Amino acid sequence: MATPDLDPLLLLRQSIASNSAILPTASTDAAAPEASLSTATHLTFTTPTRISIPIDTPTRFASNDTPVDLRSIYFAWLKREVAIPEYNASATQLNDDLTTGKVQNLAFVERLDLITWLEGASEESEYIKPLAGDKHGAASNAAAALASKGAAAPAIGTTLGRSGKGALDPRLAVIYNSERKMGNWNSALRGIKPTDFSHVRKLAAPFMSKKPSGNAVSHISSNPSLALNQKQKRPDPIILLSPSASALLRMTNIKSFLESGKYVPVDSLTASSSSSASMLHINRLMKDIDPNRPMRFILVEGPEQFKPEYWSRVVAVFTTGQSWQFKNYKWSNPNELFRHVLGVYVGWRHEQPPEAVQAWGHRVMAVGVERWKDMGPNAVDSSRWRDREAVEQIWKAIEGNMRSKGWKKDQAPASI
């Protein structure tokens, strides 16, 4: 049974936070020399104490409800800065060199979530299960928080107290986890069953239709607290496109690509089908955020008309790898920008992304589409079915990033 100071994920995160050595070894001896990942049988951590853990140990990180082994977790961390094609190629090469075991390829969203958690940028992960006996993840979250600050993990069999000071007996921790949560007056009055007050709107309609007198208007305007609180509308998320002429996706063809899953080059569009609009709207159902109504996305090529609060609504930035695109952005440095916003690079399939895109690391998603073949008016290119596959991959990454930033069915995050 894993405890906070023996849990492989927490040990790995703590070692990363303290810049301590993590050594693959081919022996159970903690003092064994470093070996290659293809021949290693153990992973040796040097902080807080030198300890070796079998490299095929299952971790609490689950992919499709299947625990991912420590070798795959460590390999994903080593390849955190490479693009998806290079990560997949490296995993294939390592699997060919392994005599026993196999490196598990993590999906883009899973790998992004894992690396974000290991770096200490997030204290929670939907793919990481709590420690055994820690129903609400209090012990693991506390140990992870200490790890991200470079502090030692709690001792075996202990967890932090509710005030965050000192140690707490594990038996008391079980008792605290079983406590009944007390609500405030608001939750007590509302209860556990939502009440539908839509009928009140019909009763209030006759009164709302009557125009108030001038004095009443001025009285309400001078006292905002007296104005009726209307239901706040969820703002539309924003996607920024690259204004570069070399971009495969522009305002003229992005709508058909993201909505219909079909790529058509800009120069192949007819004058009637092309668009010179400076802003487009696309509707997409994001099932994990709001399964009942589609979300409307706003697509623009630049932030020239942005208000400061608009940046919290930006959910993706399409780029060609040219840094001049970000000159007027809130974060003009690409490395800083992609810490806040998901980057998307769309290029030709089987071609490496530009060096700049690769240098920006895992926060920029690289997607390839098949090269365009002009088959004539009545011919059909059979390879274009891959376009929809690329589009779904992009939307899945955008949805996962939106959920991690705090998008909900009735509100948007205040900041990103």
| Tokens representing residue 93 in the block | 């090469």
Closest to 345 in 3D by CA, of 259, 252, 241, 251: 241
- β-bridge mates for residue 277, sequence order: none
At 402 the pLDDT is 92
| CATH 3.40.50.300 applies to domain 238-405 | no
**366: buried, middle or exposed (CB in 10 Å: 19+, 13-18, 0-12)?**
buried
pLDDT digits (tens), the chain, 416 positions:
455 567 888 888 988 888 888 889 988 887 888 888 888 899 898 877 788 889 999 999 998 889 999 999 999 999 888 888 888 889 999 999 888 888 988 888 888 888 888 888 777 788 888 876 665 555 555 555 555 554 444 443 344 444 444 455 667 766 766 776 665 555 555 555 556 666 777 777 777 765 554 444 444 344 443 343 444 577 899 999 998 888 999 988 899 899 888 888 887 765 445 556 778 899 999 999 988 889 999 999 888 888 888 899 999 999 999 999 999 899 999 999 999 999 999 999 888 999 999 999 888 999 998 888 776 665 566 677 888 999 999 999 999 999 999 898 888 888 87
Q: Could you give the CA distance from residue 207 to residue 92 in angstroms, rounded to a whole number?
A: 70
- The number of CA neighbours under 13 Å toward the Cβ of 404 is 25
At 190 the pLDDT is 52
What is the three-class DSSP state of 192?
coil
At 222 the pLDDT is 45
In the chain, CATH 3.40.50.11990 sits at: 238-405
Q: Quick one: which H or E segment has residue 69?
A: strand 66-69
At 161 the pLDDT is 46
At 226 the pLDDT is 34
